[in-house]
Structure 1
Amino acid sequence: MTSPMTVTPPAAGFIGPVKRSVTIAGHATSISLEPVFWHVLEAAAARRALPLNALIAQIDALRIVAEDPPNLASALRSWILSDIQAITSDTHSQQG
């Protein structure tokens, strides 16, 4: 019999959204995301050798053409999760 997995809080604790201003296609907009999402977005931009605004603009362009576009913050969170899953999947397939 296996024991249930323990659920623990994030190492940095639970922190609410932080609002930042970004420029997309020459227009300033503010986005509220939790700090952990900002950190992951910054790392994703660095891996792609892009400024953070450029990565957000690319994600926004994909969001806009979606059949039922969510708000930008939701699109960013969804994209982050998808990106992490792709990285994890790639890592597992290279190890196997």
Structure 2
Amino acid sequence: MDYRTFKVAGRDIGIALEEPFWECLEDLAARRRTSLGNLVHSLEKRDPPDIASALRVLVIKDIMEIAGIELTPFRPSCEPAKKYH
């Protein structure tokens, strides 16, 4: 785990992520022509903020977009007659 601190809205926010996530976030920030701090700030507005998880999801979504992978929701059919039998 790599721990980094960012100043957001006048307070320090510490985030621990695995190094590959930080590397992907640095690439993402560079492609968006912004900083890691700005990425963190954009996610900090969540209530309650779970910034580490939100950053991991951001990386996964970015990788999927680059790879052209699109998730589709899968909803199994519910057969009430068989549900509890």
- Asked if Structure 1 and Structure 2 have the same fold, meaning a TM-score greater than 0.5 normalized by the shorter chain, the answer is yes
Which structure would you say has the larger Rg? 2
Q: What are structure 2's unaligned runs of at least 5 residues?
A: 70-85
- Provide the rounded CA distance (Å) in 1 between the counterparts of 2:49 and 2:11: 19
Structure 1 residue 26, shift from structure 2 partner:
2.3
Q: What are structure 1's unaligned runs of at least 5 residues?
A: 1-16, 91-96
In the alignment, what sits opposite 2:25?
41
Q: Number of aligned pairs?
A: 69
Structure possessing the higher relative contact order (Cα contacts under 8 Å, 6 or more residues apart): 2
Using structure 2 for the length normalisation, give the TM-score.
Answer: 0.71
Structure 1 residue 59, shift from structure 2 partner:
2.5
Using the aligned pairs only, state the percent identity.
38
Q: Relative to 1, partners in 2 of residues 1:87 and 1:60: Cα closer, same or farther, differing over 3 Å?
A: farther
Q: Relative to 1, partners in 2 of residues 1:70 and 1:24: Cα closer, same or farther, differing over 3 Å?
A: closer
- Post-superposition Cα deviations, 1:42-76, rounded to whole Å, max 9, x if no partner, equal 11000011011001111333xx15xxx56211111
Asked if structure 1 preserves the Cα contact closer than 8 Å seen for 2:43 and 2:49, the reply is no
Q: Relative to 1, partners in 2 of residues 1:20 and 1:70: Cα closer, same or farther, differing over 3 Å?
A: same
Q: Relative to 1, partners in 2 of residues 1:26 and 1:70: Cα closer, same or farther, differing over 3 Å?
A: closer
Q: Relative to 1, partners in 2 of residues 1:32 and 1:53: Cα closer, same or farther, differing over 3 Å?
A: same
